[in-house]
Amino acid sequence: MAMNGHFVSVGDEPVAKDFEHGIQVIDDDKTFTPHLNDYLQKTDVYKAGFNYHLISVFGAQSTGKSTLLNLLFNTRFSVMSDTERRQTTKGVWMSKNKRTGEDGGSVMADNILVMDVEGSDGRERWEDQDFERKSALFALATSEVLIINIWEHQVGLYHGANMVLLRTVFDVNLELFLKDRHSNPRSLIFFVIRDFIGNTPLSNLRNTIVQDLHKTWSSISKPPGLETSSIDDFFDFGFAALPHKILQPDKFTAEVENLGRRFVVGDRSKTTASEQEYTGGIFLPEYHRRIPADGFSIYAEGVWDQIVNNKDLNLPSQQEALSRARCDEITIEAIELFDEKIAPIEQQLNDALKSGKPVTLSDVAEAGAAARVVCLTLFKTQASRYQKSIYVRKLAELEKAVDKRLKDLDEDCARLRKEEMRRLATIIERGVKLRLDDAVGLVFNNLGSGRTISTGDAIGSAVPESATNATSDSATGSGLPSEKDLWDRIWSTFVTVSDDAQSRFKVQSKNFDASEEEVAAGLWRLRRKSWIALREKIEEIMKGSILPKLEENFKHKFRYDDAGVPRIWRANDDIEGVYTRARDYTLALIPILARFRLASTYASPDLVAWIGEQPAGVLPEGEDGLPPIGGVDLEGGKTLEDEMTVLSEGKRQDLAIRFKQAADDVYFEAKRGALGGITQ
């Protein structure tokens, strides 16, 4: 395949680095150039899709073909110098039209490529015919328009070189048609009559030529089924006449200018009934070979290869091979582009996975989707011009490959998101623990002072109004101590802390684009872990500081009067009575402490409803290493009743006994103090 922008030497012959004279597509030795793609790229035709046109010029040597092309298209095909008179054009040359319209000439169709074909009398006779046939076949397989350049005085020479050439053209066209009856397009054969004197009107010359064409057509043997076909079934004909270049230079220039105006895209339907022949733009859509410009070089080379090796030229199979080759090439290009876009994202993700470098996952997803669009758009734009069945198949393959890559990406994102969620959950759980430690600790601390506190003190303004009100420490007349709503306070503290944590989790998990399911799972875990943290905190208190708290509670009731004034015991005070009331008061706290039950409902909080159902797709709890929760999880065999039991029956009794001993000690001490006071 040709290389972009670099031109190398082939054999001894240096390749024109600047393509000044166009490109020699086929050289004297019938070798096809490896640089056609370079040329098409350099001349900006490569990306034109179907928006280009191809013309081939045929005719005897030294009939002014190259001269005419150069004048029409501003090209620089070699022409015979008037002094040396030897053949110049060898093989087949191609050049892009260099007229821009800005140079004063007429504005022509976009991207016209002209092929200047070696004249037919430049070689030995047998070689000549062989090359002429081959180049005619090549031109017919690729070109929309064949210009036949003839001297006026040769018109009507039925046995002349031109009719021999045309016979070849018709012949090879039938050959191509047989292989491809469906799509073989029409071609325009455009006669340019040179050194037109004007004595015979052009219309007469045209009639003569048309007669000769029909005669030639009828003389060739047609394959079965085409015996009655007419030449008009395959070709359109056009005519132009140019005066003598040297004898009538001004007229010649004017007519060349007129001719130039016809190299535009035409519309045959615009021909009026009075017009004898179509005289509009010569590029009719039906002439186009429908080979995308970016595939032209492969196609042309393949066609030439078949021709030069005397193989049966089969254009449909050439087109199929081309479609496959180009779709593959475009796939590679599209994947390269995709890679280019996706590589930095993959790198970012890798860094994030390896070193915890932060990455915004929504950006990653967006960039992945954008890379997909860019890649598929490139493929669709270029490859859709090729055979549909091949294009559709290759597109599906490309989509599959790209989606597979994106799924890698997706999985990495999911992994990263999971890690980020876990990190976030850990931080939030730690916060929950700290706040519960504080708030729950404070509730129990104040148990000792005999003054239960407002949870608002511990958890701030997040506590709803009603929760704060519920803490007001007024005796209720139920006979229970005022600490009876201790669990209500702890539960509302807990719910507030946990709600707060949940909303923080929700907000922050948005940062890494977590799905609703992932957030729901995270919240579910967070609620469970919060509950377990609360349980642990309560257990810790029950194990360690509950006895001193009860003692303090008792001491407060025992040592202070109802007005909060410290009592000075005297011998005749009812120490036993105060002691018994204070002791019983505190003892009544033990059954309250023993179960997590709300004073408002006389029932445990509805933990099952509060934790909620396990979201689908979340690991069973055991796999997280978390203890099962009674009444919520089946495993572990614990009931909600068990879960809400803070002190077992045995522990209750043990606590009561130890408390009574401590209370007794306080009592004896007071008694001794009172007696001591008397003896003093």
Q: Which residues of this protein are in contact with Mg ion, per CB under 5 A?
A: 65-66, 89
User: How near is the Cβ of 65 to Mg ion at its closest, in Å?
Assistant: 5
Residue 453 has φ and ψ, to the nearest 5°, of -105, 165
- Residue 244 binds ligand GDP, judged by CB under 6 A: yes
- Residue 248 or residue 545: which is nearer to ligand GDP going by CB? 248
- Residue 66 or residue 645: which is nearer to ligand GDP going by CB? 66
DSSP letter for each residue of 243-263? --TTTSHHHHHHHHHHHHTT-
Residues 176-215 that bind ligand GDP (CB under 6 A): 194-195
User: How near is the Cβ of 119 to ligand GDP at its closest, in Å?
Assistant: 5
DSSP structure class, residue 187: E
Who contacts 93 (Cβ-Cβ below 8 Å, separation ≥6)? 21, 22, 23, 24, 25, 77, 115, 116
- Residue 63 binds ligand GDP, judged by CB under 6 A: yes
**Which one of 46-54, 55-63, 185-193, 502-510 is the stretch in contact with ligand GDP (CB under 6 A)?**
55-63
Question: Quick one: which of 51, 67, 271, 545 contacts ligand GDP (CB under 6 A)?
Answer: 67
Report the distance separating Cα 147 and Cα 188, nearest Å: 8
Q: Is 130 exposed, middle or buried (0-12, 13-18, 19+ CB in 10 A)?
A: middle
**Which one of 243-251, 498-506, 565-573, 592-600 is the stretch in contact with ligand GDP (CB under 6 A)?**
243-251
User: How near is the Cβ of 380 to Mg ion at its closest, in Å?
Assistant: 42
- Residue 262 binds ligand GDP, judged by CB under 6 A: no
482-510 as b/e: b if 16+ CB within 10 A: bbbbbbbbbbbbbbbbbebbbebbeebbe
User: How near is the Cβ of 55 to Mg ion at its closest, in Å?
Assistant: 14
Who contacts 134 (Cβ-Cβ below 8 Å, separation ≥6)? 30, 307, 308
| Nearest residue to ligand GDP, by Cβ distance, number only | 64
- Judged by beta carbon distances under 5 to 8 A according to partner kind, the member of Mg ion, ligand GDP, none in contact with residue 63 is ligand GDP
**Which one of 31-39, 244-252, 463-471, 656-664 is the stretch in contact with ligand GDP (CB under 6 A)?**
244-252
Strands 53-59 vs 112-117: parallel, antiparallel or unpaired? parallel
Residues 100-159 that bind ligand GDP (CB under 6 A): 119
Question: Quick one: which of 80, 414, 587, 599 contacts ligand GDP (CB under 6 A)?
Answer: 80
- Residue 89 binds ligand GDP, judged by CB under 6 A: yes
Number of alpha carbons in the 13 Å side-chain half-sphere of residue 608: 10
Q: Is 480 exposed, middle or buried (0-12, 13-18, 19+ CB in 10 A)?
A: middle
- Is the CA virtual torsion 558, 563, 569, 570 positive or negative? negative
Which two structure tokens, joined as six digits, stand for 229? 């076909």
For helices 388-449 and 486-510, angle between their N-to-C axes, nearest 10 degrees: 150
Q: Is 18 exposed, middle or buried (0-12, 13-18, 19+ CB in 10 A)?
A: exposed
- Residue 595 binds ligand GDP, judged by CB under 6 A: no
- Residue 81 or residue 466: which is nearer to Mg ion going by CB? 81
Residue 183 near residue 316 (C-beta atoms within 8 A) = yes
- Judged by beta carbon distances under 5 to 8 A according to partner kind, the member of Mg ion, ligand GDP, none in contact with residue 549 is none
User: How near is the Cβ of 151 to ligand GDP at its closest, in Å?
Assistant: 8
- Residue 194 or residue 489: which is nearer to ligand GDP going by CB? 194
- Residue 149 or residue 297: which is nearer to ligand GDP going by CB? 149
What residue ranges bind ligand GDP (CB under 6 A)? 61-67, 79-80, 82, 88-89, 119, 194-195, 244-246
